[in-house]
Amino acid sequence: MEEIVLYEKKDKIAVVTVNRADALNALNKDVNLALLDCLDKAAADDDVRVVILTGSGNRAFIAGADIKEMLPLSSPEARDHGLRSKRVADKLWNLEKPVIAMIDGFCLGGGLEYAMACDIRIASEKSKFGLPEITLGIIPGSAGTQRLPRLIGLTKAKELALTGEIFDAKLALDYGLVNHVVPSETLAEKTYALADRIARQSAFSAKMVKTAMNKGTETDMETASLFEINCFALCFSTREQKEGMQAFVDKKKK
């Protein structure tokens, strides 16, 4: 049987692909467990500097959760389901390496929640976004009601979650939900180019940028700025800082 989540390493970039194209890469228990394994693998590999999360085929990034699996759940079972999904979203958010979501097609429900847990989102022009859970009588359960307002503002986020509206990539860019929108045929090229540019930077500095921003935006400015200073100071314990600054000084001398 084909693996439901693929893991591939390209130089310093790990590519994690949800591989259920026939089901629009819908999330189920097995997919979530496999995603956790792949993300743990990337986290443990010191050669990996950047992770790309994507979906197989060209119809969907992740079209949401597997509704057939969710349909018979009781409230306690639904809570367990939500906690499993939260583990994946938290892993993406807290991974000490930048994660880029490469989105081609439907990015709905849990798929959008996982994309929002990534650090950067690049979408094809044909991609569609939304949190349509309310149309099924439920609400997002993987921090969708929390991350969307933080990304695009509370007012618009409430409208999208309360209506279940599905919107296109241009609007996603206008809302500030995605970083770039490109034609499908250049999506991989654009994503790998950005991942490679990040991978060539100091791995520790990239970790500190992500940590400082993620933690800082969840607290007040004074606490956040002091936390940033601590992250800044830690960079001075690395070889990359010594070499990078020495190279800059030597170049200025010439």
Catalytic residues: 113, 133
Rounded Cα distance, 210 and 228, in Å = 11
Q: In what order do the strands lie in the sheet with 180-182?
A: 5-10, 13-18, 50-55, 99-103, 120-124, 180-182
Question: Could you give the CA distance from residue 139 to residue 245 in angstroms, rounded to a whole number?
Answer: 49
Among the residues of the chain, which ranges form H helices? 29-44, 67-70, 75-94, 110-117, 144-152, 154-163, 169-175, 184-199, 203-216, 221-235, 239-253
What token pair was written down for 99?
A: 């994660």
Question: Among 164, 165, 177, which Cα is nearest to 123's?
Answer: 177
Residue 208 · residue 238 · CB < 8 Å: no
- Assigned token pair, 93: 């958010």
Kind and range of the H or E element at 139?
none
Rounded to an integer, what distance in angstroms lies between the CA atom of residue 87 and that of residue 3?
A: 20
